[in-house]
Structures are given as structure tokens and as C-alpha cells.
Amino acid sequence: MTTAPAVIGELARSLDARDVLAPLRERFLLPEGVVYLDGNSLGPLPAAVPPVLTEVVHRQWGTDLIRSWNTHGWWEAPTRIGDAVGRLIGAAPGQTVAGDSTSVQLFTALNAAASLRPGRPLLVTDPGHFPTDRYLADAVARGRGLEVRGVRPAELEAFLAGEGDRVAVVSYSPVDYRTGELYDMESLTRAAHRAGALVLWDLCHAAGAFPLAVDELAVDLAVGCGYKFLSGGPGAPAFLYVARRHHASLETPLTGWTGHADPFGLGAHYTPAEGVARARIGTPPILSLLALEAALTAFDGVDLHRVRAKSLSLTGFLIRCAEELLPLGFEVVTPVEPARRASHVSLRHPHAYGLVRALADQGVVADMRAPDLLRFGVNALYTTHRDVLTAVLRLRDLVSTAAYDPTPHRPGAVT
């Protein structure tokens, strides 16, 4: 079925007019004339961040200097901001710490989980996991004498039925970073626990995008980045969640000085701090941590269930636009069923990279995943249905007029 753009345009206006989250768009400094559908790679700049950074650079660092570790709460920033993230992922205070990169947090979490299940030789991960997750699983397995098994989420229960008593940790993401498919965290966590294994969730594509309940689901450990849906800025610090029941036995592989029970005592031997603070490693990156803290204020007073409802409306509308407005040659690979759909929609096309490059020239910023997926991320805090329609119409025009290079040179840098 083909729908006239005017008809679907009227639907977009109607949906946006009823959007109770529409005022939240003012919390972001979005460039004029740009449709931004890549916030699942790098969130846009929240309006609260520039004044905070100005204050931190000019007064806290520039004037108060080293005294700011105490007078402005720099020392407590990793746990304070960790708790702010914790509120978005369903974690009670005292279980989340922010700082270091996603890779470092994953390395810490995988090692810690394995140490909590000694004698179990298998580390299970998704063979379709983001590369860093797979690379680090291999690295941790090499260092600890474990074996990595690639098991897709849909196959986990069957795998555990045969080898569950040998599995130390299951490491998954609730969202397929390529297709946007949403997996069932609750059932997968329960399956792992029935086998006596721990579960580590990578929440990079989930935190801030929809409600999470890590405490309620009895999640063991979780990590996530600060620069996607949390909009903390390029390279923003990542976070690590460790359920309170594991704190007393938690062993971290990187025993840095800020995770010491008495960091300023300068003792010869490491004694871990109480609670999740022992997962602190090096001196915290204060500028980026405080930028993330300011960015998180974009969620103040926001009901994540409403965020989820609007996100489903946006992705559902995008799928409809793609199916009804785009010419032949495109395939929607994101699940149509709402319960299986996260916060981005992926379309398959053999010229994905060339089309994404051409869309950027037309003021629509999306991204692609090799070899042939165009990926459109939505964020209910600022994306509109009109944004979605504009992106699809410009994509249609590019293909209809062949106004793009189907095989552009691919530089080494990420687009």
C-alpha cells in the first residue's frame, strides 16, 4: 500500500500535537535545520551542560583549584553521579559508580563476575554482541583460564539445560545494536540464575531510552555508557552497577588508589573500600563527570514509561513511513512487534553507507552498520514524528533521483 505524503504528514502533525513530552525538546541545543537521528551513538548537547562547564572551568578549577575536591564535591562525584544514573536504571542508591570508559567497566565487571563463581569455566556472550563486548570477553577468558561460548539470547535456555552448571557469567545486551531488537531481560536473567550463573547486562543502548529495573529483576552487574541516550558528551564516563548482595565479595581486577578503603593513607597494600566504591580505579575525570551530571538533569521530572510510549510511537511511525513511502530496495529489519522493539529502526539497503552520507548532506544525521544497515535512532526527549517523516522523505528523494554516490570512499573515522 502506498500512502500520499500529505496524509502521513497530517498524521505526524496530529501525533506531535498530542505529545506531552514535546516541551522537553527545549532542554537540548539542537542545530537549526538538522534532523538528528543518531542520538543512539552520540546524544545532542543538553542546554544545562555549557553553563556548568563554564562554572567548573573558570571558578572551580580556575579559582578554587585543588580545594574543589572538597569544597565542590569532586571526590564524591563518581558515586553521586552513579546514583543519578542508578535512578534511571532502577537501582537503589549505593550500587552504581560512574567514571572510566565502557571498556574498563566491562573488563571490571566480567572479571568480578567470574571471581564470584569460581570453578565454573564458561563465559557466555552473544556472538552478535557489540565488538568491544566480545573482545573483552575473550581477553578476560584468556586471563582467567576460561572458555568463551557464543550463545544467542534465543538459544540460552537450551544451552543452559546442557551446560548450565559450568557457566560462570552470561554477558548480554537487552538491545541488538544493529537491528534494534529488544530482548527479554527478565526471562534471560532468571534462566541464568536457575543455572547458578551470574548475569552482566550492557545497557549502553537502554539506559535513558526506556524504563529499567535492575534491582527488581535481580540483575547481578550492569554497565553502560554516558554518551548515547544520557547525552553526557563524546567519550562521557561509563557506569558500573553491582547489586548490593555482591559487594562484600566483590573483587575487582584493577585495584586503583581511589577504590582503597583509606585512599589518602597511602598504605603499602590494597584494602578495598566498602560497597561499590571499591570499583573506583583512578583519579576521576572531573570535567566529563560533571558534564554528565548536568546532562542527566534533562531527565528531571520525566516519567520513563512515557518516554517508552513515545519511543514506540516514533519507531512504529518510522516503520510505517518506510513501508509506505520508500521505493523497492529497502527492508525493515527491526521487529514490528512493539514488545520486541527498542529505540532505533534499521533498514537494509545495499547502498547503506552512500545513503547515510547523502542524507547528512541533506540535513538528516543517521548512521549505518556494516555491511548494509541504515540505522535511525529516536529519543523521545527531543525527536518528533515530523523529524521521522522528514528523514524518510529525503531518503526517498535521494533514491528516486539517484542523487547519491552508491559506493563512496569509507574513511577510517566513524561517521
Query: Could you report the per-residue pLDDT of 343-360, keeping only the tens digit for each?
Result: 999 999 999 999 999 999
The rounded mean pLDDT for the chain is 96
From CA 194, how far away is CA 150, in angstroms rounded?
Answer: 19
What value, to the nearest 5°, has the Cα angle with vertex 152 and ends 334 and 189?
100
Q: Residue 4 pLDDT > 80, yes or no? A: no
Specify the pLDDT at position 415: 36
Is 204 within 8 Å of 40 (Cβ atoms)? no
**239-242, strands of its sheet edge to edge:** 96-98, 239-242, 221-224, 198-202, 167-172, 122-125, 147-150
Enumerate the domain spans of the chain. 5-30+302-401, 50-299
pTM for this predicted structure: 0.96
User: Under CATH, domain 5-30+302-401 is a member of which superfamily?
Assistant: Aspartate Aminotransferase, domain 1 (3.90.1150.10)
pLDDT number for residue 410: 73
The mean pLDDT of 2-22, rounded to a whole number, is: 92
pLDDT digits (tens, 9 = 90+) for 160-189: 999 999 999 999 999 999 999 999 999 999
Dihedral of the CA atoms 174, 175, 177, 179 (nearest 10)?
Answer: 140
Which of 396, 374, 378, 375 is CA-nearest to residue 387? 378
Q: For residue 2, name the pLDDT band (cuts at 50, 70, 90).
A: low
The pLDDT of residue 409 is 78
Positions marked active-site: 130, 202, 227-228, 375
CA–CA separation, 44 and 106 (whole Å): 25
Rounded Cα distance between 315 and 300, Å, is 24
**50-299 topology per CATH:** Aspartate Aminotransferase; domain 2 (3.40.640)
pLDDT digits (tens, 9 = 90+) for 117-153: 999 999 999 999 999 999 999 999 999 999 999 999 9
> Is the CB of residue 10 less than 8 Å from the CB of residue 194?
no
Instruction: Report, as an integer, the average pLDDT of 295-301.
Output: 98
Give the position of cell 513511513: 321
User: How far apart (Å, rounded) are the C-alpha atoms in residues 8 and 141?
Assistant: 51
- Which residue bears the cell 536457575? 194
Q: Quick check: 250 pLDDT over 50?
A: yes
Q: Tell me the three cell numbers of residue 268.
A: 603499602
Q: Are 200 and 155 in contact (CB under 8 A)?
A: no
Kindly list the distances between the CA atom of residue 305 and the CA atoms of 88, 152, 308, 310, in Å, as whole numbers in the listed order.
11, 28, 5, 9
pLDDT exceeds 60 at position 413: no
* The pLDDT value given to residue 414: 43
Q: Is the pLDDT of residue 391 over 80?
A: yes
Handedness of CA 56, 59, 64, 65 (dihedral sign): positive
pLDDT of residue 256: 95
Phi, psi of 28 (to 5 degrees): -125, 145
